[in-house]
């Protein structure tokens, strides 16, 4: 109750500006994917704050742009004094903060998690429209589509791939990474083995499936953790030795943005580099 009362007092002193009739001039982002869109589409000059995660190049595609604006940790106490005319948040994060901001009269736009490339393009368009930057949004989508269309043709018999993330998570069916893999000419084995977008695969399942390519979805400069243990398991070592493992930072396809094209290009290059006679882990290999 005291926290709410304090926020109300601050709110009265710094009421939110109204930008319904024009471009919002004080934008606050509470979501890493929103950080990228507002910084790319509106520019740092109109952004009052982004998440502190946006400054970390291991997980952010716009760390250079984020260095020019203040950051937040998703707290209402940080947002209210900024008197934003638009707050953009993720649909599944900072729920208490967004509820408080709405009660105080701030406009909050929530972004969902796209399940397809078309949904990603639509999200870029929706954010661009709200920012009053429709042309920039259309240009961004056009560039991504053009890059996807320019990918090298894939063979009729697509090589198989499995995405390996910390804690055994993978990219399953009904996800943007699943579609990016397909655009790159790869058959996502996890779409058959996993039950949802972000399912988990045991080491035994990966070894038994014997994918042609292992996509290691982790930042090479991330600090060591128990979650990464599977990524470095000896049973997967033959993929690296045989040139069948490709590192791909999660940031490249975690959000709607230009990096989706870069992810597809890297995967297409890795697929093309797989020599027909390259070493492949033997069937039934165990460690």
Higher pLDDT, 263 or 283: 263
CA angle, corner 238, sides to 192 and 265, nearest 5? 60
Q: How much is the average pLDDT of 88-96?
A: 91
Higher-pLDDT residue of 279, 113: 113
Asked if the model's pLDDT at residue 89 lies above 60, the reply is yes
User: In DSSP terms, which residues pair with 47 in a beta bridge?
Assistant: 27
Query: Which CATH class name applies to 155-273?
Result: alpha beta
Q: State residue 93's pLDDT score.
A: 83
Q: What integer pLDDT is reported at residue 5 of this predicted model? A: 47
Which among 114, 109, 90 is positioned nearest to 30, based on CA atoms?
90
Query: Of 33-37, 81-85, 223-227, 268-272, which range is least confident?
Result: 223-227
Phi–psi pair at 165, nearest 5 degrees: -120, 165
Query: Would you state the pLDDT for residue 16?
Result: 53
CATH superfamily assigned to domain 2-112: Nitrogenase molybdenum iron protein domain (3.40.50.1980)
Average pLDDT, the chain: 86
Return the higher-pLDDT residue of 226 and 112: 112
Q: CATH 3.40.50.1980 in the chain, residues?
A: 2-112, 155-273
């Amino acid at each position: 109750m005291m926290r709410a009362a304090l926020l109300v007092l601050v709110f009265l002193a710094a009421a939110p500006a109204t930008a319904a009739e024009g471009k919002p001039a004080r934008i606050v982002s509470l979501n890493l994917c929103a950080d990228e869109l507002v910084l790319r589409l509106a520019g740092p000059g109109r952004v009052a704050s982004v998440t502190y995660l946006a400054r970390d190049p291991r997980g952010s595609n716009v760390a250079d742009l984020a260095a020019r604006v203040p950051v937040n940790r998703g707290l209402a106490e940080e947002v209210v004094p900024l008197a934003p005319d638009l707050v953009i948040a993720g649909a599944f994060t900072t729920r208490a903060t967004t509820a408080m901001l709405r009660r105080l009269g701030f406009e909050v736009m929530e972004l969902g998690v796209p399940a397809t490339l078309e949904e990603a393009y639509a999200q870029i368009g929706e954010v661009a429209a709200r920012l009053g930057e429709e042309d920039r949004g259309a240009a961004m989508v056009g560039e991504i589509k053009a890059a996807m269309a320019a990918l090298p043709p894939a063979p009729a018999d697509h090589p198989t791939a499995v995405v390996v993330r910390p804690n055994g998570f993978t990219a399953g069916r009904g996800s943007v990474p699943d579609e990016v893999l397909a655009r790159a000419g790869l058959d996502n084995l996890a779409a058959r083995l996993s039950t949802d977008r972000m399912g988990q695969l045991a080491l035994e399942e990966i070894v038994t499936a014997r994918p042609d390519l292992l996509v290691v979805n982790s930042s090479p400069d991330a600090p060591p953790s128990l979650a990464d243990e599977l990524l470095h398991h000896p049973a997967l070592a033959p993929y690296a030795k045989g040139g069948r493992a490709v590192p791909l930072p999660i940031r490249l396809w975690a959000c709607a943005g230009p990096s989706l094209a870069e992810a597809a290009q890297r995967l297409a290059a890795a697929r093309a580099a797989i020599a027909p006679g390259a070493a492949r882990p033997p069937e039934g290999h165990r460690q």
